[in-house]
Structure 1
């Protein structure tokens, strides 16, 4: 399906964008990949990393700027939307800016993709979009709703939109593992809550979920990867076993446990071997059988949270990941 195709990644200079671009370049069918972001320095650094690859293009722009998006999307077949303001406390203190990027930016991208005839878009979401208690999660929930509903909004253009949702990306900038790693030589580590749990996913798993969604999507699905959970205190013990722990309390807008599928979505959720698929509650394309093919409807009382997860990451697995990855620059 990607034969002679062009692909654009919004927010493409982040951890996900770097990993996803590398996977794109393994596919000889893809003729061009455009990195769309607003940070010229990150683009400059990324361009040096991929200087050997003539298929990569860099485009300075902001998803808040619809005209710039229209220019960037000219001739693009597929879009992966990773651009977002995503630091929870930052969003709490800067709500206007978070809304402009995460919601208004999503609206701009939907319009531009439809007008430019993009075939498919997959938007990256977060566990914080499920039953959100913070502004970041609320804006991503709104964004998810926009992309799902956009499938009816696209009309005769037949541009299709879907969403992937996953939890804490191991090793990504600002996440707990590199945070603790950078403090590993200190005598004390700050712990928000002894009971706190988080979903854990590798960048590679996140990238594979997006490829799966691009190939499988009918339009309107939310794909949720099955991934293990881990207690934050166990991460701290693993990284700095000799350090003392100082309980500092949760930050504004944080949850003790994260949720990726709430009980309210159980009636529309289908289970597969490696992921769940939440179908739209509004019947957009009239073929639920096609959208749910190969899946099994979950129990009506089903929910998927980091504390009720049946899959837990063992400390030795985390230790192996740290050994393999934290010797690199994060």
Structure 2
């Protein structure tokens, strides 16, 4: 089938979600796929070119969303921008200034450039964290786009994502130089998991260090509903298709959508155990300490961080809002996505679990070997009595 002349740009295209979106875009009838990221693996680009069989041009742009010149070139002639690039930090490793510069100002610059370059469609990868949980830990059970929730966000990351999402949604209907109007939309996936999910690695390493016992940081009743990365990628493709339909683009334009799948509702800790138990990991039934004591301990570590700030950089491994997030029931549905653009998860829970656990199995032995190597090195360094 001949290409239809459409060009898609994926920011953060070399990332966890971005790569999966690009792989699905290969199935679409496009002329070119453009990748914008600070680092782009040449092997990934070559693999994509091989997968397309020369049918679709693949172009890589090295840079980030704060680089106006790179954006001007990358957006020229583009039909649709899928903006996944952002700085993620819920620990405090990255300054508020950096989060603001990339997540907010970078998004604003990308929107402005897209308008200048007559980009018709703009899809933003948002997050459930633009909603909460709030500082009180108020729960949501099967919430949707109409759910009213008293948000008072703690993470600066969440605040920047919330502002960026609004910038995108309020740009819907903007008049382009060619006389057309831009259509914008945002997708709000819940916690994304799957192959190459870097947020699962610390839990794996901690379990290995602890004799294959995972640390429980969330109560069993603190249910959340994680979503498989390839289903999130699929939702982006379906939104892009809807934007090309003259009737549906009026429906999705200026809207946000929660994206979930049939992954069972469970706590963060129990989810990690579900994925890692086939690899020999166990999980305690209860928290390592009472929840109030966890908050108090975290508060003391945050006070220490504040006192040491003028002298050294100290970042606690956990903070009070992370404890709240891990221990708040926070689940959503994606019925509106089904209604408005026919979103049905492409991959079942069984497939998602199998693939994710297989990926974890492929790296766990190397990580265990590295741990043993470090232990041996430490033993050699100990002075002999």
In the superposition, the TM-score normalised over structure 2's length comes to 0.64
Give the 4+ runs in structure 1 shifted more than 4 A: 243-250, 258-261, 292-295, 316-319, 327-330
1:235 pairs with 2:280 = no
Residue aligned with 2:112, SS: helix
For residues 176-255 of structure 1, the aligned pairs below 5 Å read 176=200, 178-185=201-208, 186-187=210-211, 188-195=213-220, 196-216=222-242, 217-218=249-250, 219-227=253-261, 228=263, 229-238=265-274, 239-240=276-277, 241-242=281-282, 246=288, 250-251=318-319, 253-254=321-322, 255=325
Instruction: Indicate conservation of the 8 Å contact 2:216/2:283, yes or no.
Output: no
Q: Which has the higher helix share?
A: 2
Determine the structure 1 residue equivalent to 2:169: 148
Deviation, 1:182, is 4.1
Give the gaps of 5 or more residues in structure 1.
262-270, 278-291, 296-312
Determine the structure 2 residue equivalent to 1:33: 33
Deviation, 1:253, is 3.9
Q: Aligned match of 2:336 in 272, 276, 279?
A: 276
For residues 68-147 of structure 1, the aligned pairs below 5 Å read 68-90=70-92, 93-130=94-131, 131=151, 132-147=153-168
For residues 246-325 of structure 1, the aligned pairs below 5 Å read 246=288, 250-251=318-319, 253-254=321-322, 255=325, 256-257=327-328, 259=330, 274-276=334-336, 320-325=354-359
Matched length: 282
Determine the structure 2 residue equivalent to 1:43: 41
Determine the structure 2 residue equivalent to 1:286: none
Deviation, 1:25, is 1.1
Determine the structure 1 residue equivalent to 2:192: 169
Instruction: Indicate conservation of the 8 Å contact 1:127/1:260, yes or no.
Output: no
Residue aligned with 2:336, SS: strand
- Structure label with greater radius of gyration: 2
Residues 143 and 197 of structure 1: is their aligned pair in 2 closer, same or farther, counting only changes over 3 Å?
A: same
Determine the structure 1 residue equivalent to 2:181: 158
Deviation, 1:22, is 1.0
Q: Which has the higher strand share?
A: 1
Distance in 1 between residues matched to 2:259 and 2:78, nearest whole Å: 27
Deviation, 1:236, is 4.1
Distance in 2 between residues matched to 1:31 and 1:328, nearest whole Å: 35
CA deviation vs aligned residue, 1:136-186 (integer Å, no higher than 9, x gap): 11111101110111124446441111101111111353323x433344444
Residues 16 and 258 of structure 1: is their aligned pair in 2 closer, same or farther, counting only changes over 3 Å?
A: farther
Give the gaps of 5 or more residues in structure 2.
132-150, 243-248, 296-317, 343-347, 365-385
CA deviation vs aligned residue, 1:235-290 (integer Å, no higher than 9, x gap): 244324435574566535432337577xxxxxxxxx8xx5336xxxxxxxxxxxxx
In the superposition, the TM-score normalised over structure 1's length comes to 0.74
Distance in 2 between residues matched to 1:318 and 1:24, nearest whole Å: 20
CA-atom RMSD, angstroms? 3.2
